[in-house]
Structure 1
Amino acid sequence: MQATVQIKRLEGGENLPLPKQMSELAAGFDLYAAVTDTVELKPGERALIPTGFALSMPAGLEAQIRPRSGLAYKHGITCLNSPGTIDADYRGEVKVLLINHGQESFRIERGERIAQMVFQYVPRIQLETVLELSETVRGSGGFGHTGQ
């Protein structure tokens, strides 16, 4: 399956790489910080970081913004709303909501890789109201229902 996604570089995104897959089989496209000044993210703080681009996706597609594993592991930096969803009808700038769960301040510089974007197909769903649901072995067992 292949889809075409249009990308528009925005003011502030000049001279930055566009989202890029870092290996041939990478699922995600790395996103770069389009900050004009260094952003210092202290422990427990969050910041909305611009990327300098907007998208136009066909209906039935979404983009998910996810953390970069290296930033999470090495510095405790992750996406607060993860995965963040970009709907096919959104045309504004893609921004990344980062939070510092680490012990030390973290500096976000212009052009730094801050997150990844993964595209997913989204089926059209029609909800149907019913009086009863089908039975399963699990039933209504929720959080921790398996004892683990």
Structure 2
Amino acid sequence: MKRGFEIVSKYNDQDLNVPYRTTNHAAGYDFESAVDMVIPSIWKSNFLKVLWSIKHEKAVDSTALEGAKKVLKPFLIPTGIKAYMQPDEVLIIANRSSNPLKRGLVIPNGIGVIDSDYYNNSANEGEIFVQILNFGISDIHIKKGERIGQGIFMPFLISDQDDDQKKQTRNGGFGSSGQ
């Protein structure tokens, strides 16, 4: 087995689809949402109040600031999918081209990077989530089975000094290899 997808065990009986290419020449494998969920618009009242205060150089109270931060926090859409690949490969999670244009949905970090050691690591099974922010005017309802992102397998190169650098064993999900 070189590379591919599996359904995470907690979703085995949920009738999910593994990612798929929709045309013969598509580079990306379409990922679907594993659940129904709502992605709220960032243009909620606390956020607008904070923006108004900043623009008019007014003090912002901590409650409003915390509320605005919650609105700007990306939502994680579960896919119920994990990916296996070769050690010198990566799965890049990218937005679908229609999401920003038609729905105001963006991936706030630009792309997601799924390393080969994320698969079945000791702290989680390696479920892939798609981070999303909704810059649209209204909330967006995501339905189970709706395409939300695309994954592209790619090889990567390492530097000449790579063997000299410290390595650690992955044991978690988002940000798990950072300090």
**Normalised TM-score (structure 2):** 0.64
CA contact (8 A) 2:34 2:145 kept: yes
Native 8 Å contact 2:16 2:145 kept in 1: yes
How far does residue 124 in structure 1 lie from its aligned partner after superposition? 2.0
1:41, distance to aligned residue in structure 2 (A): 1.1
Measured on the aligned residues, the alpha-carbon RMSD in Å equals 1.7
Which stretch shifts more, 77-86 or 21-30?
77-86
How far has the Cα of 1:120 moved from its partner?
Answer: 1.0
Structure that is richer in helix per residue: 2
User: Which residue of structure 2 aligns with residue 133 of structure 1?
Assistant: none
1:80-123 deviations in Å (ceiling 9; x for gaps): 22211001111210111111011111011111100000111101
SS of residue matched to 1:93: coil
- Residues in 2 aligned to 1:121 and 1:59: alpha-carbon distance in whole angstroms: 9
Matched, 1:71 2:99: yes
Q: How many residues align?
A: 124
Paired residues for 1:133-144 under 5 Å: none
CA contact (8 A) 2:75 2:131 kept: yes
Match of residue 106 from structure 1:
140
Higher strand share: 1
Q: Is contact 1:68-1:78 (8 Å) kept?
A: no
Corresponding position of 1:135: none
Aligned-partner Cα distance in 1 for 2:6–2:23: 23
TM-score by length of 1: 0.77
5+ residue gaps, structure 1, are 129-148
* Deviation beyond 4 Å, 4+ runs, structure 1: none
Q: In structure 2, what is the Cα distance between the partners aligned to 1:72 and 1:6?
A: 27
Percentage of matched positions with identical amino acids: 30
Q: Contact 2:2–2:84 (CA<8 Å) still a contact in 1?
A: no
Q: How does 1:44-123 map to 2 (within 5 A)?
A: 44=42, 45=71, 46-91=74-119, 92-123=126-157
CA distance in 2, matches of 1:70, 1:93: 24
**1:39 matched to which residue of 2?**
37
Asked if structure 2 preserves the Cα contact closer than 8 Å seen for 1:32 and 1:51, the reply is yes
5+ long unaligned stretches in structure 2: 43-70, 120-125, 163-179
CA distance in structure 2 between the partners assigned to 1:63 and 1:6 by the alignment: 10
Equivalent position SS for 2:79: strand
SS in 2 for 1:20: coil
CA separation in 1, counterparts of 2:110 and 2:150? 11
